[in-house]
Amino acid sequence: MSLIICYYGKNGAVIGGDKRQIFFRGNEEKRKILEEKLYNGEIKSEEELYKLADELNIKIIIEDNREKVRKISDSVVVGEVRSLGIEAKRRRVYATKGKCAIVDILNDTVTNEVIKEGFGIVVLGNRFLKKKAEEELKSSAKLFPMMPLEQIENVIRDIFEKLNWNPTISKEYDIYSVDKYEKNFEEVVRKDIESLFKYRDELRKQLIEFGKVMTIINKIVKNGEIGVIKDGKLHLYDNYIAIDKIDPPNVFKVVEVEGNFKDGDVVVIENGEMKIKGTNEKIMTKYIICHK
């Protein structure tokens, strides 16, 4: 979906990137048809995109809030394009004065890294936008080493303004520049990638914990005969347990209850409410009743 334009040279480094991300939901083959038309420039507007998506029965969600380019310090900028599916594929460009690095990342592994020195321009994005941006840069790019950074920013800004009719990029964009050389450039790149891997690891842990919580929530009993009153307490049947909290839970088979009941009463849950079977007499407990 992205367009990122990065310049590096003797006068510094400039990077610009849009903020759009598009999510697709629906039949895989139809989704591929939509994506192909989107990436080759056949779809000329958001209206056309929504219309075709509707015809193909594909649900799309457009968001314009993703930070694709940023300033790591006063000497290094970075931009990233990515494709998230079963695997996470990323391409990053890092730049400082007179130097850049292009890094390919698959999940938690760097699969390729190229360091370039001197001056140059790196354009990342889908093939249609990449081609259009490179065409726009042909006449002015060779003059970038002689330009002040502000002028380079303006050239990049003009390209985004010319191309933001395309539905794969946002109307708004970010542009950053640095005029200092980072002597520990490779180390800065390595640490930034390590921070990505650490973030992914923390996110994985959070998702695992969230999954555990959702497993418990999905097991909460909504309807069913759950147990019998004995000695003034609820004794749960074999297929049920009681927990005192969601995360982490403590498990019980016999729990205290409040209300009007007597030994031998059968307890049921109907639409989430606990009652004495055969009556409308409600009883209460501080525990959560779940399927075992």
Q: Report d(CA 241, CA 227) in Å as an integer.
A: 10
Residue 33 covered by a domain: no
Closest CA to 120 of 131, 134, 132: 134
Q: Across residues 272-279, what is the average pLDDT?
A: 90
Contact 102, 8 (CB under 8 A): no
Residue at which a domain ends, from 154, 188, 210: 210
Residue-wise pLDDT tens digits, 86-108: 788 999 999 999 999 999 999 99
Q: How confident is the model at residue 271 (pLDDT cuts 50, 70, 90)?
A: confident
Q: Are residues 193 and 268 in the same domain?
A: no
Res 240: pLDDT:
94
Q: Are residues 286 and 145 in the same domain?
A: no
Q: How confident is the model at residue 256 (pLDDT cuts 50, 70, 90)?
A: very high
Q: Are residues 149 and 238 in the same domain?
A: no
Average pLDDT, the chain: 92
Res 169: pLDDT:
92
Closest CA to 180 of 152, 149, 140: 149
Q: Mapping DSSP to helix (H, G, I), strand (E, B) and coil, where does residue 98 land?
A: coil
Given a cut of 90, whether residue 149 has pLDDT beyond it is: yes
Q: Report d(CA 103, CA 94) in Å as an integer.
A: 8
Q: Are residues 169 and 227 in the same domain?
A: no
The CATH number for 133's domain is: 3.60.20
Res 218: pLDDT:
87
Q: How confident is the model at residue 1 (pLDDT cuts 50, 70, 90)?
A: low
Given a cut of 90, whether residue 77 has pLDDT beyond it is: yes
Q: Mapping DSSP to helix (H, G, I), strand (E, B) and coil, where does residue 45 land?
A: coil
Given a cut of 90, whether residue 205 has pLDDT beyond it is: no
On the 0-12 / 13-18 / 19+ scale of CB atoms within 10 A, 5 is buried
**Dihedral angle of Cα 153, 154, 158, 161, to the nearest 10 degrees:** 70
Residue 53 covered by a domain: no
Q: How many CB atoms lie within 10 A of CB 115?
A: 13
Q: How many domains does the chain have?
A: 2
Residue at which a domain ends, from 142, 176, 210: 210
Given a cut of 70, whether residue 129 has pLDDT beyond it is: yes
Across 82-91, 134-143, 190-199, 272-281, least confident range: 82-91
Q: Are residues 14 and 154 in the same domain?
A: yes
**Range(s) of the domain holding residue 252:** 220-291
Q: Report d(CA 219, CA 288) in Å as an integer.
A: 10
In this structure, the strands spanning 77-84 and 69-71 are antiparallel
Write out the two tokens for 86: 């079963």
Residue at which a domain ends, from 155, 189, 210: 210
Most confident stretch, 176-185, 241-250, 257-266, 268-277: 176-185
> Could you tell me how many residues make up the chain?
292
pTM of the model: 0.74
Res 118: pLDDT:
95
What b/e string do you get for 10-32 counting C-beta neighbours within 10 Å, with b at 16 or more?
A: ebbbbbbbbbbbbebeeeeebbe
Q: Across residues 228-247, what is the average pLDDT?
A: 90
Residue 40 covered by a domain: no
Strands (E), 119-166: 120-125
Res 217: pLDDT:
81
Q: Are residues 165 and 90 in the same domain?
A: yes
Q: Report d(CA 253, CA 240) in Å as an integer.
A: 8
Q: How confident is the model at residue 247 (pLDDT cuts 50, 70, 90)?
A: low
Write out the two tokens for 241: 């347990």
Res 61: pLDDT:
85
Q: Are residues 81 and 193 in the same domain?
A: yes
